[in-house]
Amino acid sequence: MRTVSVDIGSTWTKAALFGREGDTLTLINHVITPTTPHHLAEGFFTCLNQLLNVCDARSLLHRGEINLKYSSSAKGGLAVAAMGLVPSITLETAKVTAWSAGAKITQHYAYKLNRHDIQALENTPPDIILFTGGTDGGETSYGLANARALAESNLDCAMIYAGNRDIQDDVQAILAHKELTIVENVLPDLDHPHPHAAREAICDIFLQRIVKGKGLDVIVNETGEKPMPTPWTVYELVKAISHYDSEWQEFMLIDMGGATTDVYSACSNSLTPDTVHHGVPEPFIKRTVEGDLGMRVSAMVVGESTRELVDIIFASQTERKAAFYAYLRHLMTYPGYLPANSEEEEFDTLLAGLCVGYASERHAGRKKQVCTCVGNVDLQLGRDLTPVRKVIGSGGWLSRASQFDIHHWLKYRELDDDGRRILLPNQFTYYRDSSGLLPLLANVARLDPQLAARTSIHCLTR
């Protein structure tokens, strides 16, 4: 049976039709159409009709002639506010958990919530609040105080409690009038993060509540198939690739879209001699997402976030810098715009470099030397990606850009603003998702992870 995969992005809706013969997956057709943000179902069915070359693909779906799997990252994706106790411990674990479930962290809070924090949440409510804090048997007063603050708020978003199990019953009673889900602690003890239950709860809420509106509920009713967040499916594909091929056990994937830049890495947590790790253990597979780094919808925000580097690049070129920022403003107004001349192509390349450089730097760990009673040691925060030897570029612009010098941008500087070494790859082979198939194969991985992993590796351009 043929399989159809559709990915609804913030700017473009992509679809592919695959055929399977034995252990081989063949691409039959591949189309891209503009996303219809006012109602996602319109663009979805337009794309599907073009892919299948029919007037109404619904009839094929109703007759069961094709398998359909689809995902969505449109309209800002899945917004999660993360709450924890200590910033580098439970809050960091909450962030990693949400990222792995395909979410974008829109707000994050440590220790006790104050009135300003509650007001900020009420003014810009997330889809989900991931409420963590305390290892099992540990601190309880902060969690109870935060539960009371949430209870007294006007928030009506979904809430997940994944903190100290000792106060689960109290939290349940305090937040009984809210939409609350209680799951196992994301950090039952300091050495063993346990994100799985909270991750599944986030996905369940996405399916039950978030798809309502945005036009996704219409697609569900018409197709009988529920979507998944695009980053969730890509995360699972990264895991499948790492498990399938020993040569790809450790790698990075940079997925740059119009609104965000996602970075995924599969990497072990081995430490070099005389190095001590600070914080909770890093997961083997990790995703981070940068909501201020995107090629179109977030273009002007990129320019503002990276202004210090832009000033250096355009030193003594006042007019070109002004033209660059004018171009960014134009992109935000017309996100489907493509460069019309060589100068705009150069501006697009610079914009892509800024997204890749800053997103990768934020994803990677840091290392600094500290003095102890037994001598100097290196203190490592986060993950060390220096051993990684393979990097994939995906997303519309990166998929097309055959001349992009990603080596320069991945290591545009060695040290961060605090003088700490940034632990990104030094030597690596770069691969492009030149056909733009990885997000679509990620949907296929929900049916057959090994087949999707094998096909993903074969479709890359070195």
Helix 230-244 with 92-100: angle, nearest 10 deg: 90
Whole-angstrom CA distances from 457 to 71, 237, 262 are: 21, 11, 19
Task: Judge if 251 and 387 occupy the same domain.
Answer: yes
Q: Is the pLDDT of residue 118 over 90?
A: yes
Q: Is the pLDDT of residue 249 over 70?
A: yes
C-alpha gyration radius of the chain: 22
Residue, of 396 and 317, whose pLDDT is higher: 317
Task: Judge if 161 and 54 occupy the same domain.
Answer: no
Q: What local confidence, expressed as pLDDT, does residue 213 receive?
A: 67
Task: Judge if 202 and 221 occupy the same domain.
Answer: no
Q: What local confidence, expressed as pLDDT, does residue 312 receive?
A: 94
Q: Is the pLDDT of residue 75 over 70?
A: no
Average pLDDT over the chain, rounded to whole? 92
Q: b/e map of 119-149 (b: 16 or more CB within 10 Å)?
A: eebeeebbbbbbbbbbbeebbeebbbebbeb
Domain that includes residue 270, residue range? 230-459
Read off the DSSP letter of residue 167.
G
Q: Which of 270, 234, 266 is nearest to 251 (CA)?
A: 266
Q: Is the pLDDT of residue 373 over 80?
A: no
* C-alpha span between 294 and 47 (Å, rounded): 23
* Look-up of token digits 């602690």: 185
Task: Judge if 181 and 202 occupy the same domain.
Answer: yes
Task: Judge if 133 and 258 occupy the same domain.
Answer: no
Return the structure tokens found at 350.
Answer: 């610079």
* C-alpha span between 149 and 138 (Å, rounded): 20
Give residue-wise pLDDT tens across range 307-340. Answer: 999 999 999 999 999 999 999 999 989 888 899 9
Task: Judge if 54 and 112 occupy the same domain.
Answer: no
Per the structure, the count of domains in the chain is 3
Task: Judge if 421 and 447 occupy the same domain.
Answer: yes
* C-alpha span between 30 and 53 (Å, rounded): 11
Return the structure tokens found at 247.
Answer: 């040569």
* C-alpha span between 106 and 149 (Å, rounded): 19
* C-alpha span between 362 and 292 (Å, rounded): 12
CB neighbours of 4 closer than 8 A, spacing ≥ 6?
15, 16, 17, 18, 48, 51, 52, 66, 67, 68, 69
Return the structure tokens found at 223.
Answer: 């197709």
Q: Is the pLDDT of residue 369 over 90?
A: no
Give residue-wise pLDDT tens across range 10-42. Answer: 778 999 999 988 888 999 999 999 888 888 999
Task: Judge if 114 and 83 occupy the same domain.
Answer: yes
Query: E strands, 93-241, where?
Result: 103-110, 128-131, 158-161, 180-182, 228-229
Please state the φ and ψ torsions of residue 88, each to the nearest 5 degrees: -85, 0
CB neighbours of 430 closer than 8 A, spacing ≥ 6?
391, 392, 393, 406, 407, 462
Residue, of 93 and 38, whose pLDDT is higher: 93
Written as one string, the DSSP assignment of 274-288 is TEEEESSPPPSEEEE
- Output the domain CATH number for residue 116: 3.40.50.360
Return the structure tokens found at 313.
Answer: 């690049």
* C-alpha span between 109 and 117 (Å, rounded): 8
The answer to whether the CB of 125 falls within 8 A of the CB of 155 is yes
Q: What local confidence, expressed as pLDDT, does residue 309 receive?
A: 94
Give residue-wise pLDDT tens across range 193-227. Answer: 999 999 999 999 988 877 776 788 899 988 989 89
| Three-state secondary structure call for residue 19 | strand
Give residue-wise pLDDT tens across range 417-458. Answer: 999 999 999 899 999 999 999 999 999 999 999 999 999 999
Q: What local confidence, expressed as pLDDT, does residue 76 receive?
A: 63
Least confident span in 87-96, 206-215, 229-238: 206-215
- Output the domain CATH number for residue 12: 3.30.420.40
* Look-up of token digits 């995360």: 235
Task: Judge if 102 and 180 occupy the same domain.
Answer: yes
Task: Judge if 109 and 156 occupy the same domain.
Answer: yes
* C-alpha span between 125 and 404 (Å, rounded): 38
The answer to whether the CB of 198 falls within 8 A of the CB of 183 is yes
Task: Judge if 352 and 306 occupy the same domain.
Answer: yes
Q: What local confidence, expressed as pLDDT, does residue 295 receive?
A: 92
Give residue-wise pLDDT tens across range 162-189. Answer: 999 999 999 999 999 999 999 999 999 9
Task: Judge if 80 and 69 occupy the same domain.
Answer: no
